[in-house]
Amino acid sequence: MNIHFDLMEDKVEFFEAESIQELEKKIANQIEINKAIMLRVNNVSHQMFVSEEGRRFYSAVVHFRAK
């Protein structure tokens, strides 16, 4: 029986929230999880959208890369 493991080199994750604080918490939690598989943050891109009702909506894309 042959077992072969490939290391994950890149991973892109998408996040969304209704407040910037909630978005930051989600990203921080995922950073801790990805540390366990030896990935670090390589790049973060974020945007904010305001609906017609005036509600704000935040989103982010985080690129993780192997250490």
Task: Give the per-residue pLDDT at 5.
Answer: 76
Q: Is 30 helix (H, G, I), strand (E, B) or coil?
A: helix
pLDDT of residue 50: 95
Boundaries of every domain in the chain: 10-66
pTM, whole model, 2 decimals? 0.85
Buried b (16+ CB within 10 A) or exposed e, 29-50: ebeeebeeeebeeeeeeeeeee
pLDDT digits (tens, 9 = 90+) for 10-63: 999 999 999 999 999 999 999 999 999 999 999 999 999 999 999 999 999 999
Residue 67 pLDDT greater than 90, yes or no: no
